[in-house]
Structure 1
Amino acid sequence: MDNRRRVLIVAYDDAQILDIACPSGALDIANRYGASPPYTIELGTLGRRAARSSAGIVLGAGRGLEAVTGRLDTLLVVGGAGFEEASADERLLTQVRRLAGSSRRVASVCTGTYVLAAAGLLKHRRVTTHWGYGERLAARYPDVAVDVGPLHIRDGNVYTSAGVTSALDLTLSLIEDDHGPTLARAVARELVSYLHRPADQAQISMFLTAPPPGDRLVRDLTGHIAGHLAEDLSPGALAARAGVSTRHLTRLFTEHLGTTPARAVREARTEAAAHLVRSSRLSLAAIARRCGFKSPQTLRQAFVDHYGCGGDTIRKMPDMPRPRVPQGHKTSLP
């Protein structure tokens, strides 16, 4: 009896090639490191047509979605520039619905979440997607609980992940669920990947709006701040992490960022919270906790101090508000 774990990756024109390569590459390495039962990985499209990625690389499909029968272990729908056309293609949605019914688990990467939502598979579920597309997803599907904070989310047997490289974090988690942490760590090492980012790490921590500071210590600390907003980020804690005195830390931040460690942390937390206010339906209390504020009231005051307006105004703005920068002060954090 063949007990392999069948994984079908659903693609379409203008799909993001990394959304395909990250899961398939990680699962292939898991097989080579002894995954038992191993994974069988196939790329499926409507009519078994080749899929043109958004990068222009054409991928030959191994299966036509209409011809896939039998039990699947994992159905994974990718994202990419073609997600709008894909989520409006009733032929594709019909096959996704049918295949989901015979799958142990269903997953999406990035804007592949839109395809699952259009297929009716995300009703009353908590999901994530790329941080830049969450607000639109929430408006289009009000019965879906969109949260663009985490890298990936599991709700029952449905797994959704954020943009592009978070597909690797999701796949490593699936491997760990299937085969344990030892194999997942081995795959991550082979991929020269971080071992490995937790599901609830904030998407906002993966990008900065300004060039990174030139000093390595300050650069490392700003990355730590962005990725651990809810933790103790007091000047003393940051200084201890860097192995320097609080006075020296303040001198470095002032020289390279034009601000103090405490103000840098407050800016990072405030701007991350503003992104969540605009792109998710989380309550202000939940956003405050996730971003390291002691209370919603403290967060409201931070919005007023940083943007000159409250959270309700930020949520309604068509674009992210610009911070109010005091004379002689510069911001360098997300």
Structure 2
Amino acid sequence: MTRAGLNKKKRMGLLTRGILALVVPGAVLSFGMGAQARELPHGTGSGATLRTRTFAVLGIGAWEGDFSIDDQGRSGLAALSTFVKQERRRLQSEGGGLFFVSGSSLTGVSAPEAIHARLIYPRFNLFHHLRFDAIAASADEARALTAFTDDRDFERHPFVSLNYRAAQNARPKAARYIIERRGEYSVLITAITNGPEPDFASDPLELLQREFERQAGANLRILLLEGDGPGDAQHPEDEPADHGPARFRGNRFLEILGESGHGLAPIGDPVVLGETAFESASLIYVSNAASNVFGRLPTGPYVCTIAGRSVCLVYFHFREHQLLGVEQRFVELNGNGEASTWITPDPILLGAFDS
């Protein structure tokens, strides 16, 4: 391995320890998730209760502009919109909330006018209608964002890219990270964009470690990464591929964590992990993955890899800012696996993406 590769691997080791330090094991709980869902007496004699609050993170993968619903009403952004709204209302009524994120390449196009056409419509603005909390800009999308200076349609846009310089040199631009709040709870959402290293703003891994340390008070940290795709050849980010310059790849991030003895352990779907409490929590979404897998790095972040237009939904159950447990499932919108829970497509979006 080259000296540059060794130095980068050393930095990854430091980042690994930094991320793992964010999820510190706490007291072991002797009750399951059913008991956690109930309000428990505070013990002060005043009748006060400790309330469990549930915050969901709903992540989608690389939809690449394929928003249409099929002839049987399955999948599609119109069905997803209804599901997101229903889940958001339900959680808010219980004192929690929902964070809606897109992992990579939402539009699937690179020209500014094409991106505008996929996001802004005569009847609705996709940003505002779906209320995305964060969208991880692909390299092409990040580059195209610089064309939307003074474009009112792109005000309050939720694109994030911690490392991609092209996304940060004009307005509107991608934010390096976003802090979202739900009452007294807060979440940090950021992304590392895949792309050629010369386009990076400094070392993305050092940037990530610094921002995680600066935002140590956040209750939840979400990192959006882009995978290599089901058929793409994988190259270490410190070695150039045969067809181009050295590139940063999200898959390599997880590979190095595995090399350091913290490999991703697949967990069944659905899963409940309610036996250990943590002082903080981290979640890594890897979109454009070969398959849907949910797991957890030992004593570290939860990881959800998302293939195609899949939807990964993760519930975090908190009480008094302490994480009690996690539940996860992959949502099949109006698919065979959820035939009894038909989702009526959003009438505003229905048919808007068929042309």
Fold agreement, TM-score > 0.5: no
Q: TM-score, normalised by structure 1?
A: 0.27
Counting helix residues as a fraction of each chain, which structure ranks higher? 1
Looking at CA atoms only, which structure, 1 or 2, has the larger radius of gyration? Answer: 1
